[in-house]
């Protein structure tokens, strides 16, 4: 499998980082990572991770302005793209077809090639504009998955909450995982 992962500057970089950590453990999965400049800043502010470590987890790394990257073309085949977290700016760009960076371009390619696109939009409260952009993308097949915590699995830590969301993302990609106790 080949998975494209973008981490944008919205709060919640830990979702993308944890997803990348899990994906890096699968020998049969190759990851292509886009880290935006604001993602780097958010990682610095919100986590104890450093960007060098995160880059080492990915098989291929791109700069957000690298519009000639392989993942910007429909001829590059992959099994899905995840944007975790997805800023409202990125969501709006994708919704409007405004491909001004590699994240929005790769997402547009996923849409036009009918590939899985999973977005973890991070903002609250949501405006009517945010909701309209999410609805528009949902109607064309994108999975809109705000990282909202669930409590039926009785999380004991922030890591448990993050892993629950990451497990659900992996489910969307068809990747078996045992990060969480399943509902019975």
pLDDT tens-digit map of 64-119: 999 999 999 999 999 999 999 999 999 999 999 999 999 999 999 999 999 999 99
Taking the C-alpha atoms of residue 1 and residue 63, their distance in angstroms, rounded to an integer, is: 22
Helices (H) and strands (E) in the chain, counts: 7, 6
2-172: CATH topology: Rossmann fold (3.40.50)
Spatial CA neighbour of 144 closest among 121, 169, 115, 177: 121
Whether the model pTM is above 0.85? yes
Tens of pLDDT along 44-78?
999 999 999 999 999 999 999 999 999 999 999 99
Residues 6 or more apart whose Cβ sits within 8 Å of residue 12: 46, 84, 85, 120, 122, 147
Taking the C-alpha atoms of residue 4 and residue 13, their distance in angstroms, rounded to an integer, is: 16
């Amino acid at each position: 499998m080949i998975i494209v992962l973008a981490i944008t500057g919205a709060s919640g970089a830990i979702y993308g980082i944890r997803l990348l950590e899990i994906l890096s453990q699968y020998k049969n999965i190759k990851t292509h990572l886009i880290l935006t400049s604001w993602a780097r800043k958010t990682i610095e502010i919100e986590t104890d991770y450093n960007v060098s470590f995160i880059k080492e987890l990915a098989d291929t790394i791109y700069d957000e302005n690298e519009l000639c990257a392989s993942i910007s073309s429909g001829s590059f085949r992959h099994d899905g793209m995840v944007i975790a977290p997805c800023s409202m700016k990125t969501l709006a760009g994708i919704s409007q077809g405004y491909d001004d960076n590699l994240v929005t371009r790769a997402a547009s390619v996923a849409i036009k090639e009918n590939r899985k696109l999973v977005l973890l939009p991070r903002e609250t409260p949501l405006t009517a504009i945010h909701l309209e952009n999410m609805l528009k993308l949902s109607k064309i097949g994108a999975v809109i998955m705000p990282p909202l915590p669930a409590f039926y699995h009785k999380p004991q830590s922030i890591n448990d909450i993050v892993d629950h969301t990451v497990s659900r993302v992996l489910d969307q990609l068809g990747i078996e995982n045992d990060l969480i106790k399943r509902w019975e």
